[in-house]
Structure 1
Amino acid sequence: MFPSVAVACIVAGRRQGVGTGEWVSWIDTGLDAALGRIDAFVNKRLGHDTEPGIALALTTRDQLLGVATAGLADAAGGAALRASHLFEFGSIGKSFTAVALLQLREEGRLDLDAPVTDYLPWFAVQSDYPPIATHHLLSHTSGLTGGTDFAPDPRYEVWAARDLHVAHAPGEAFHYSNLGYKALGLLLERLEGKPYAEIVRERLLDPLGMRDTMAVIANANRPRLATGHVYRDTDRPHRPGDPLAPASWLETNTGDGCIVSTAADLTAWLRMLLNRGSGSAGRILSEESFALLTRPVIEMSPGSGRWYGYGLMTFEQDGQRLLGHTGGMVGYVSAMFGDVERGVGAVVMVNGPGAPLRIATDAVAVLAAAHDGRDLPSLPDEPDPDAVPDAEQFAGVYRSGDRAWEIVVSGNRLSLVADGQRAPLLPLGPAAFRAEDPALAHIWVRAQVEDGRAVALTHGGDVFHREGLDAPETAALPEEWRAYPGHYRSHNPWASDFRVVSREGRFFLLFPEPPDGFEGDQPLDPLPDGSFAIRSGDYAYDRIRFDTVVDGEALRANLSGADYYRFFTL
């Protein structure tokens, strides 16, 4: 066990790349080595794949251990990040919605297995299956789309669900749905007769003493927030180190994630979880409700070992059972995870792109080792971001008609020779790349690998087959479909644009960065009503429809209720 903590002080913010990142004024903690290890890891991540600023708070089940900040609150202005800065923490807020609903269940006011329409009568979906219950929305098993955040207020987006088709019977499969939690927020407001922010304040924040937390993102609290940052070029896949720009500012009050806090204040919520529903002033949840909150209802993807309960996920890592959630907002990412058995946890908040999950879980691993009296885990090696594992499998010449691409290997790095130009081919993920050629960088290069060798490359609508392999025969597209391929945009900062391409007789939907609920190059399957189903594994949670054809081009695409418009760029 940890020795008693007499004093733990907050570390002042510092500029990115400046300072040692030392924790200061730790008295009788016995944790100096652990804190030094964690701080070194944070500094290693900052500027590598986490920028421009980060706040890290560590806690036991009894008290806050401390907070450290590094980097910038505002990349353009150069202001240092401080522990007092607020962050939007996105989907970590789903656990707040879940806990408030479980409190209503304890009071006999909510049956989790009753249809949602018993409490929100106007909620409707297109479905041939049994009705959706609150349990299904809480566990992301309703069959609903993930949602597209096309409306600034949740009421219309939830109302418009009546035009959407559920993909399967409730409870059959997991599919992360922000739309479902928006509906839960409205259900909560209807039962309580109060705004979401007021409910969360009265039921959760005040009893836990969370004075630096607000359950609404509004102009009134904007001055205290660290500035959010996004990658500057929204129409292309991104890599760490790409230029950043200030994120769009959005007000929101939705049950899927609308809470702002400091890293330190959010640890009060984490301590409640580490104490199985008890806060400093007493119980927030009964033991029975805490068991419901954290039980593993469904595996998030087959074989992943990650399970979802009600607004929280659980998984095992290096012998630890971890409980928590990640969060993402426009310009912010975050993670909150704890080890309930050992009573240690970490909160990570970043005001830009980053790797908060890895930082949080590694920090908890170090705290757990200190708790157990084990040797501290070593700092993980940082892989070369440009290195490609098994690079030789991609080497060779690929042809599409009279065009040829060649992938050249040099050690563990790749280059692409295309149309007479040679450019680095940088990894974005397994068998996925970005060619550092201005003519190609806006679309992923993906490799199809069979038996340890790449047999084809795709880039937008182009397919290049390895030299010596025959291209498959493909059917011609129906004439009316020829109007659909193109680049479609909206002013929605959550998912600003996508491309639709024709590839060997099929349509594909391509996002520069797939939002929640979407994958990479997703095939579009035609439906009898003229729309197309977007498949995700065995199910199609989303649909897309094209209309307003002028001069042979569709000018509008509707993606699961959200309108996008043909743009002049490719």
Structure 2
Amino acid sequence: MRLGAATAIALALAAPALPASAAEAVTPSAPPAATAPAPAPHTGLDRAALDRTLEELHDAGMYGAYSAVRNGAASWQGASGVADVRTGRATTPWLQHRTGSITKTFTATAVLQQAGKGRIDLDAPIGRYLPDLVAGERGRTITVRMLLNHTSGIADYASAIWRKPEDIETLRFHRWEPRELARLGLNMPPTGKPGEGHHYANTNYVIAGLLLREVTGRAPEKYITDHVIRKAGLRHTYFPRSARLHGPHSKMYEGLYGEFDPPRDFSVYDMSWAGTAGSLVSTMDDLNRFFRALLTGKLIGQAELREMQTTVPTGTPQVRYGLGLLSLDSTCGRFWGHDGLVAGSGTTSLSSPDGRRQLSLGTNLVRYYGIEADGTTPKQGPIDYAQYAHLSQALCGTPPTRSTSWRTATS
């Protein structure tokens, strides 16, 4: 079971998938802008269509959703459904929300700030900075870059934490230390050789947080707050200090693929298990503001942004992963962003390269269907199709078709 890894999302706005080449290497490459699909023309926002598709998401079975969309100077925010199924309290567009693995983009931004100052070498072995944590051969061969693009081969500690469904409940208030989590992942069998392939793991970003602590001498959450969150002008984004969110928020319902029937509320949860890999709280408007600041060079220099957008293949041809940032080539252009999944909370945030066209969507019910016969692939259903329709409307200005889809790099 993987909590904290971003959800697999099939978007009907995506370019048709092509067979992955067997010879495709994990050598990082920054795809030239000329190779990106030409953006489809779209101006302004169809607010009525956005309202309708978000309401249809609730009609399809999603308890509640909240969304923020931008196209240049035009903006829209909307919400549908309920924030509490017991009381019927309605959602609003401004609810605070656990963003899961979108936290990784914030952490990577902080690391790249330090790289820009010459305090971190992206291609240096992590053992140079944390010799007591990542020792031996792995400490000498795993680089900072490999942590950030998930090619380190270090396993995800999450599978060592939650071994059975009830562990999610019994560990609700357990307090985890970052080094404890890192050692759990490091002590598991590697998922591959360093640099050999993209294997998504929260452990990489817990270690990245420990790297920030070592280099800055400050708690990584404090550094990210002061130098990323505040620098981006975000007003409702923070690392929680307790198991509770301190502002207006929805309940967060976890179905665990049918194990919890009815789904259980996990809006109160100690997020120390995710730390700098997935514990951040934000709003949809703040997420758009963050990615706009990042992609327009307000948080890191152009050289560091190029490093962040230097990507490796993920196994899904139209999706590549950079340094805490994924790229999606769709039928209406290339988008950059990330997605996130924690107990009861799903989030997607995508932006055009210039930060003008943006969508951030939060949902308060996750893992609502079962698993396919292969034992790993989540089943798709009406909720998913309705979600894709809203995403397609927001990003491309058009409704989707069922015949095309994509799956994120972090599934």
- Please state which structure has a larger fraction of its residues in helix: 2
One-letter amino acid of the structure 2 residue matched with residue 184 of structure 1: A
- 1:325-340 equivalences in 2 (<5 Å): 325-340=338-353
Mapped to 2, the partners of 1:192 and 1:340 lie a distance apart of 30
CA distance in 2, matches of 1:269, 1:290: 14
Out of 262, 273, 289, the position equivalent to 2:304 is: 289
Question: RMSD of the alignment, in Å?
Answer: 3.1
User: Where do 1:12-411 residues align within 5 Å?
Assistant: 31=44, 34-48=46-60, 51-60=62-71, 63=73, 65-124=75-134, 131-148=141-158, 150=161, 152-216=176-240, 218-219=242-243, 221-231=245-255, 237-238=257-258, 243-247=262-266, 249-253=268-272, 254-275=275-296, 277=297, 283-296=298-311, 298-301=312-315, 304-341=317-354, 343-353=356-366, 365-366=392-393, 369=396, 376-378=397-399, 380=401
Please report how far the alpha carbon of residue 309 of structure 1 lies from its aligned counterpart in structure 2 after TM superposition: 0.2
Q: Which residue of 2 aligns with 1:441?
A: none
TM (norm. structure 2) is 0.73
Deviations 1:484-518 (A, max 9, x none): xxxxxxxxxxxxxxxxxxxxxxxxxxxxxxxx88x
Deviation at 1:343, TM superposition (A): 2.1
Q: After TM superposition, give the deviation of residue 245 of structure 1 in Å.
A: 2.1
- Separation (CA, whole Å) in 2 of partners of 1:174 and 1:252: 25
Contact 1:178/1:256 (<8 A) preserved: yes
Residue 435 of structure 1 corresponds to which residue in structure 2? none
Amino acid at match of 2:183: W
Q: CA deviation at 1:119?
A: 1.4
Once the two structures are TM-superposed, the CA of residue 156 in structure 1 deviates from its matched residue by 0.6
C-alpha separation in 2, matches of 1:189 and 1:63: 38
Cα distance change, pair 364–167 in 1 and its aligned pair in 2 (3 A): closer
In 2, Cα distance between the equivalents of 1:41 and 1:110? 44
Sort the Cα spacing of 1:171 and 1:359 in 2 relative to 1 into closer, same or farther, 3 A. farther
The alignment partner of 2:103 has SS state of helix
Output the amino acid matched with 1:35.
Answer: R
Q: Which deviations, in whole Å up to 9, do the C-alpha atoms of 1:59-107 show, x marking residues without a partner? A: 24x5571211111111122211123321000001101010100000011
1:125–1:327: structure 2 CA closer, same or farther, 3 Å change rule? Answer: farther
Conservation of the 8 A alpha-carbon contact between 1:125 and 1:161: no
> 1:145 & 1:320 partners in 2: Cα distance?
33
Give the structure, 1 or 2, with the largest relative contact order (CA under 8 Å, sep 6 or more).
2
1:169-199: CA deviation from partner (whole Å, max 9, x where unpaired) = 2111110011111111111122112222211
> What CA distance in whole angstroms lies between the structure 2 residues aligned with 1:159 and 1:242?
34
Give the deviation of 1:127 after TM superposition.
5.6
Structure 2: distance between partners of 1:308 and 1:84: 29
Deviations 1:285-341 (A, max 9, x none): 111111111122x1111x532110011111211141111111011110000011225
Q: Is the 8 A contact 1:217 1:250 kept in 2?
A: no
Structure with the higher fraction of residues in strand conformation: 1
5+ long unaligned stretches in structure 2: 1-42, 162-174, 368-379, 404-409
Matched residue type, 1:99: T
Query: Within 5 Å, which residues of 2 pair with 1:485-524?
Result: none
Partner of 2:24 in structure 1?
none
What SS does the aligned partner of 1:208 have?
A: coil
Decide which structure has the larger Cα Rg and report it: 1
Q: Are the equivalent residues in 2 in contact too, given 1:57–1:267 (CA < 8 A)?
A: yes
CA deviations 1:33-67 (Å, max 9, x no partner) are x2222222222222425x2111100124x557121
CA distance in 2 between counterparts of 1:258 and 1:190 reads 20
Residue type at the aligned position of 1:85: L
Which residue identity is paired with 1:269? F
- With over 3 angstroms needed to count, the CA separation of the structure-2 counterparts of 1:340 and 1:161, relative to structure 1, is closer
Q: Which digits, 9 at most, give the CA deviation of each residue in 1:396-420, with x for residues without a partner? A: xxxxxxxxxxxxxxxxxxxxxxxxx
- Displacement after TM superposition at 1:135 (Å): 0.6
Number of aligned residues = 335
Report deviation, 1:368: 5.6
- SS of match in other structure, 1:80: coil
Deviation at 1:242, TM superposition (A): 5.9
Equivalence map 1:408-419=2 (5 Å): none
CA distance in 1, matches of 2:355, 2:287: 19
Counterparts in 2 of 1:300 and 1:358: CA distance versus 1, 3 Å? farther
Maintained 8 Å contact 2:238/2:281 = yes
- 1:289 partner amino acid: E
Question: Partner of 1:372 in structure 2?
Answer: none
The runs of at least 4 consecutive aligned structure 1 residues that moved more than 6 Å come to 354-361
- The answer on whether the counterparts of 1:338 and 1:346 sit within 8 Å (CA) in structure 2 is yes
TM (norm. structure 1) is 0.54
Deviations 1:356-388 (A, max 9, x none): 99778755654565xxxxxx5235469xxxxxx
